[in-house]
Structures are given as C-alpha cells and as structure tokens.
Structure 1
C-alpha cells in the first residue's frame, strides 16, 4: 500500500462516485428530455424520471446514514475517553453495561455530575432521557451532525 499524502488521501468508491451517481444523473436528464419529446408516452417518462430521482435520493440518504453511524462511534469513543480521564481506568466493562442512549446523554453532563449520573445509569438503569432531565449544569454539544 502506498504511503498516504496530500495527493492521495481522498477516498472514492469508484462504482458509486464514477458510475452509479453519474449514470443516475444522465438517466434523469434523459427522462426529463423524453417527457417533452414523446407526448404519447409522457406519463411513462414522468414515472421513469420519478423512479430515477428516488434512486438518486436514496443514494444521497445512504451517505447521511454513514455519517450518523460514524457520529455514534465517536460518541462511544468520547464516552470511553472521558471515563478514562475521570476515573483513570479503562471503561470496557462499564461501556458494555450501558445502552447507547445513556452514553450519548452522559456527554451533556459536566464532570461533577457525570459520576453520579453514571452510577444511576448503571444501578438504577435510568434512560438517556432521564439522564438528560437530571443534568443541572448542561455541557453543550455544538458539533453534532
């Protein structure tokens, strides 16, 4: 594998970026052209264009799904890092006992409340929403996707 640098650091998925999406754009243009060019089959070409548009929209939404999945991984890593900074211990066992919504909610608590809310999450199994409602000193997250 080549060493990464500025010129080769971008990652493309060729079937998606160079075949699928351009093909959908060309098919959409073709379908819209045929709507005006073929009045006898106008309804068919409208349906064709709508289906192509929906496929294009679905492809874009999959990218959003990937971003949200990555955000969830970052939330878990942030929890583990913060746990280590506060307790000076690994968090593997603790993280395994928590649900994702609990870890995500704990992000909003300042360090002084983090310990108490974590204890409640582990021993009383309070939900992420209950954790958020219990926070008195809110720690904002302005970088969410």
Structure 2
C-alpha cells in the first residue's frame, strides 16, 4: 500500500540522485580545480587537469539537464491533464491566467475542491505553495518523475 500523501511529504527525493550523485559531482569538480592549481601551465599534467575539470563540468550539466528536461515535459503533461479534468468537471477549460505552477499545484486537489480552488487561485493570484496548503482532501501523485 502506498503511503498517504499530504503537503508535508509530497516532495519526491531520490537519495542516490539528489544527495549521492550531486555530492560526488561537486566534490569531483572541487578536486579537479585543486588539481589545476597543483599543475601550473607548461608543466606536466596541466592539460589533463583542465580536461578533468571540463569532464566534471560536463557531468554537472548532464546531471542538471537530466532532471530538468523530464520535469518540463511532465509539467506540460500535468497541465494538459488538469485542463482536461477541469473540462470534464465544468465543461470549460482552465482559466488562461492560471500559471503553469498553479496548475501543477492543483493536481493534488480532489475533484470536490478542484474547481473552486482553481477559481480561487486565479482570483487571489495564489502561489503554488499557497494552493497546496489550501487543499483539504489531498489526491496523491505517486507516478511523477
């Protein structure tokens, strides 16, 4: 059985990715910078030290984009799902003034409070965090990236 989700525990953290891999990349980049200073230009090993730093920078960029690209695609899918859900419940699409972040935050609202909360989010220009905190009946999302 899945753990009941709420505002306090809804964030997804993958320790191997968010802590281990990021720490190793960061520490490796620091070590590569130190290595450059240990091998000044025109001495043996300088080119290798620079290439090592370039490799760690590339690794850090890959680490960043490997997370942001799927999240962006997921955000678009969530907005489309919530737009469809709003249409099914009301016969109208979501208000175009609703930001991407607001629509994404609304995905946790139950059908009973979704429509009213969506209207309130637009009218009061609620932040995604405010929307999540306003949800009474939390609808869990265990299938996100």
- Asked if TM exceeds 0.5, the reply is yes
2:45 counterpart of 1:68: no
Under a length normalisation based on structure 1, what TM-score does the superposition of the two structures give? 0.63
CA contact (8 A) 2:108 2:135 kept: yes
Q: Which runs of 5+ in 1 are unaligned?
A: 1-39
TM-score (norm 2): 0.63
Give secondary structure in 1 for the equivalent of 2:125. coil
Gaps in structure 2 of 5+ consecutive residues: 1-42
Measure the CA separation in 2 of the matches of 1:125 and 1:65. Answer: 25
User: Higher relative contact order at CA 8 Å, sep ≥6: structure 1 or structure 2?
Assistant: 2
Deviations 1:51-71 (A, max 9, x none): 123224423532332211101
> Rg: which structure is higher?
1
- Of residues 37, 41, 44 in structure 2, which corresponds to 1:41? 44
Relative to total residues, which structure has the larger helix share, 1 or 2? Answer: 1
Runs of 4+ in structure 1 over 4 Å off: none
